[in-house]
Amino acid sequence: MRPQTRLQFNKVLAAVRQYNHVDNPEKKFAIAPELVQRLVERTQESSAFLKHINLVSVSAQQGQKLGLGVGSPVASRTDTNTKEREPSYVGVLDADDYACVQTNFDTFISYAVMDSWSHLAEGEFRTRYTNAFIKRIALDRLMIGWNGVEAAKETDRATYPLLQDVNIGWLEKIRRYAPAHLMGYSSDGEASTDTFRLGEGGHYQTLDALVFDIVSNLIDPWHQESGDLVLILGRELWVNHGLTLYNENRPATERLALETWFAREAVAGLPTITVPFFPTRGLLVTSYDNLSLYSQEGSTRRAIIDNPKRDRVEEFLSSNDAYVVEDYGKVGGMRAGAIQLKTSAGEWA
């Protein structure tokens, strides 16, 4: 590490000591609550999707989910001559508890990379240093949310490159606790042999027709017109949708209308987004505030180790996290492997 880099890095360490009230950042320490909140905010800033969902701090490592958002209807009338009025909870209460498990985000930055930042102003150097692992944390959390199926005691990235064994993600939660809200699964959550052809001559002529069917039949009636539903769509389906709309065989007026519709990024009247690491043929209708990431208060730990034996600075960061779907009645989708598209040869695959 160059002398100028060492001066910059020492200032980073000094700030860590000051704000977290610790003497030696190389020993694992609990990050101060206000800094945890700032870390959450910066993680959100690095991901457009994380900006919209709930990142919630909870006191208990395990417990009943908060049921954020608006649940089923509460309007009623009671004959108080015979019984008392009973209030209803405005959120959602069901049997799906949460369990925050430790997730390690351990990274390193080589001296050579840090040397390339040494010319930056003090604040810029610190920002560049922090952003180096903040963005990776955001991406990993998305990867786990869409692909996680278990929380293994010891993970294996070589076998599970999409972090399937780090935690139980949102899609897996829906499969386990509300399989009736996902086409392509049996009532016990096992993948069925059903396939759904999407395109001309298939079960659904258009993506719009498929999404209309999902909203109408899989989402609880009181949520179907809630106004905040969004369609999260796999990249392959989105590209296929675009190619369908731009099909040159369509009349010019029809193509113009469809191109305008596609440009607005809407399907079946719903705002449509693609998210990193979402299954390429996946499809999920829900609202942003129906998806949450809980982190246990006081569980965020950090250690910063200058390792000259490897010519690098090592960051050890961990937090206890849980992925939560607040209301299963407000989700509808399809198993990614159940959708078939036409190949260029005109076959379904």
- Tens-binned pLDDT, residue by residue, of the chain (349 aa): 999 999 999 999 999 999 899 999 999 999 988 888 888 888 877 778 888 999 999 999 998 887 776 555 667 677 777 877 777 655 555 657 899 999 999 999 999 999 999 999 988 999 999 888 888 899 999 999 999 999 999 999 999 999 999 999 999 999 999 999 999 999 999 999 999 999 989 999 999 999 999 999 999 999 999 899 999 999 999 888 776 665 555 565 555 555 554 555 688 889 999 899 999 999 999 999 999 999 999 999 999 999 999 999 999 999 999 999 999 999 999 999 999 999 888 899 9
pLDDT in the model for residue 88: 61
- Provide the domain limits for residue 204: 181-289+330-340
Question: Do 55 and 128 belong together in one domain?
Answer: yes
Q: Residue 99 forms beta bridges with which residues?
A: 62
Domain membership of residue 62 (yes or no) is yes
Evaluate whether 109 touches 312 at the Cβ level (below 8 Å): yes
Return the CA Rg of the chain: 24
Number of domains in the chain: 2
Which residues sit opposite 30 in a β-bridge?
Answer: 301
Domain assignment present for residue 82? The answer is: no
Asked if residue 143 and residue 35 are part of one domain, the reply reads: yes
Q: Is residue 186 part of a domain?
A: yes
pTM of the model: 0.86
**Encoded tokens for 68:** 């954020």
Write the DSSP string, 247-316. Answer: -TTS-HHHHHHHHHHHHTTEETTEEEE--TTS-TT-EEEEEGGGEEEEEETT--EEEEEEETTTTEEEEE
- Rounded distance between C-alpha atoms, residue 154 and residue 331, angstroms: 31
Q: Nearest 5°: CA angle at 135, between 27 and 176?
A: 95
346 inside domain: no
The domain that holds 198 is classified in CATH as 3.30.2320
pLDDT of residue 87: 72
CATH number for the domain spanning 42: value is: 3.30.2400
| Judgement on whether residues 62 and 154 belong to the same structural domain of the protein | yes
In a shared domain, residues 122 and 107: yes
Please check whether residues 16 and 133 belong to one and the same domain: yes
Contact between 174 and 334 under an 8 Å Cβ cutoff? The reply is no
Same domain for 275 and 296, yes or no, is no
Which backbone phi and psi does 101 adopt, to 5 degrees? Answer: -115, 150
Q: Specify if 349 maps to a domain.
A: no
